Amino acid sequence: MRSQNSARTRRSKFRDSPETYAMPSIASFSPLLLVLLLPAQAYSGYGHQDRVQALIDAGNAPDGVVFEIASGDSRFLDWALQEADRLTRQLRAKYPGLDVSIVSHGREQFALTRQRLADNAPLEQQLQGLVDADVPVHVCGTNAEWNGVDAEEFTALVDVAVTGPAQINDYVKLGYEKIRIVRR
């Protein structure tokens, strides 16, 4: 009996003791988090123009470039496709005939359904211009399925890949440089 009581006493003393170690607050980890997250943020796509400029300055054409677009903003694609077009023109000015592809796999991809494009003629024109310039645009079929959108609901101007990330990985395996387009 004594051993059970002493065990309980030890636990309660430990729990209530001022000498116990309190869990550090998140504020105490802030400097560490900042140091750890800055490189990840830089790698995650900030500076897509810098990445393109580095490819141009390298003087050696890559096997290709795949632009990754993924955002939670359904209106992001209007800007992102314009940005991809601008970057493609820069790359092809240095490396004519360079293979370039675009993969969209966030909420923005739903702007490319036939119904949504019917209400956004400028986006449809932008998309048509990219396709005419031999820049295939892919969307994520898995993301579409998760959101109750059938592949047939997308415009015929895009390819519905099984998954966006797998499509990107296929391009990377072919030697393409992956550049994530993000808005600063």
User: Quick check: 173 and 45 in contact, CB under 8 A?
Assistant: no
> What DSSP line would sit under 49-104, residue for residue?
HHHHHHHHHH-S--SEEEEEE--S-TTHHHHHHHHHHHHHHHHHHHSTT--EEEEE
**Chain segment 4-45, per-residue pLDDT in tens:** 544 444 444 444 444 444 545 444 444 444 444 444 444 444
Quote the pLDDT of residue 49.
Answer: 77
Which two structure tokens, joined as six digits, stand for 179? Answer: 């550049």
Q: Sketch out the chain's domains with CATH numbers.
A: 43-180 (3.40.1260.10)
Quote the pLDDT of residue 179.
Answer: 93
Q: How far apart are CA 129 and CA 144, in angstroms?
A: 24
Quote the pLDDT of residue 47.
Answer: 78
What residues have CB less than 8 Å from 46, skipping those under 6 apart? 182, 184
Structural element, H or E, at residue 140: strand 137-140
Quote the pLDDT of residue 184.
Answer: 59
Low-confidence ranges of the chain (pLDDT < 70): 1-46, 184
Quote the pLDDT of residue 21.
Answer: 45
φ/ψ of 67, rounded to 5, equals -90, 125
Quote the pLDDT of residue 178.
Answer: 95
Diameter over CA atoms, the chain: 86
pTM comes to 0.74
Neighbour-count burial of 38, counting CB atoms closer than 10 A to its CB (0-12 exposed, 13-18 middle, 19+ buried): exposed
Quote the pLDDT of residue 181.
Answer: 92
DSSP 155: -
